[in-house]
Amino acid sequence: MIPAIHIKWLDGVAKDYVDVFDNGEFLRNGEFNGLWHYVLDPNGQTYGRARFNLKVEDTEALLDYTAFRELNNEAGMEVGETKIEFKNRDDKMISRVFWRNSKEHAFRPANVSCTYPKPQTFPPFEPSPQLKAKKAIRQMKEREGQAEFRELLLKTYGSCCISGCAVEQVLDAAHIDPFQGKEFNHPQNGLLLRKDLHALFDNNLMAIHPGTLKVYFAPEVASDSNYQSLNTGVTLQAPRLCYSSYSPSKTLLECRWNIFSEEHGDVSLVST
């Protein structure tokens, strides 16, 4: 199965820009609102994100960017609708792409090239001796490569792994095995978290059960009304389909769970 789809525009306003999609978005028939995808600039760097509503019916997909006109204009995106025709309904290889801007009444064939790149591969990430010894490293260190690590996790998840918040300005790249060097910026060692949840995780006031992937908070946090709805009721969000190999390491989550349990007891055994 194709994991990702890149559509490069070969002429017009968007010439040499690339729309980046997760193939998983096109695998189910139906209407899906408020989705987003990345756009790469002509140099292959992230230009921004475009937001759209999606309608999929077998071998055809309609992407409506006009529903988020103001947001897309602010992000520097051309506003209109894209229609994609696929060769078949299973692997979603593209046969044709059509476009109409907000001033046009009819779709016209788009001059594009389509590629299906595979995400970068990483060897498995092994926990550090400190984490294995259940010693949490709380002190802040200068985090080399943090911007690139955050960009990787934004592409992998798109929103907070726990709350679902998609406001980029409040999202952090959190390390499961606390940062000790650039080699710790590994996708299996990362979670995209809202800033407050990142702080709780770093201070062992929140953990993810390695078996169920359910989120648990320390008792003093779980009693707060801001976190009651998240405590035990939320399962860690999985990566987007094309980044499924970047799922967080169960071994690392288990190490962090053991540290959390030593400080707060096994809260997963407490009825809520």
Report the alpha-carbon distance of residue 90 to residue 56 in Å, rounded.
12
Q: Which pTM was predicted? A: 0.73
Q: Which residue has the higher pLDDT, 193 or 4?
A: 193
Q: What is the pLDDT of residues 153-193, one digit of tens each?
A: 999 999 999 999 999 999 999 999 998 888 999 999 999 99
Which is more confidently placed, 58 or 268? 58
User: Measured between alpha carbons, how far is 158 from 24 in angstroms, rounded to an integer?
Assistant: 14
Domain positions in the chain: 4-115, 129-269
3-state DSSP assignment of residue 229: coil
> Tokens representing 114?
């389509």
Distance between CA 188 and CA 90 in Å, rounded? Answer: 28
Percent of the chain at pLDDT above 70? 94
Q: Residue 147: CA atoms inside 13 Å, Cβ hemisphere, count?
A: 1
Give the model's pLDDT for residue 136. 53
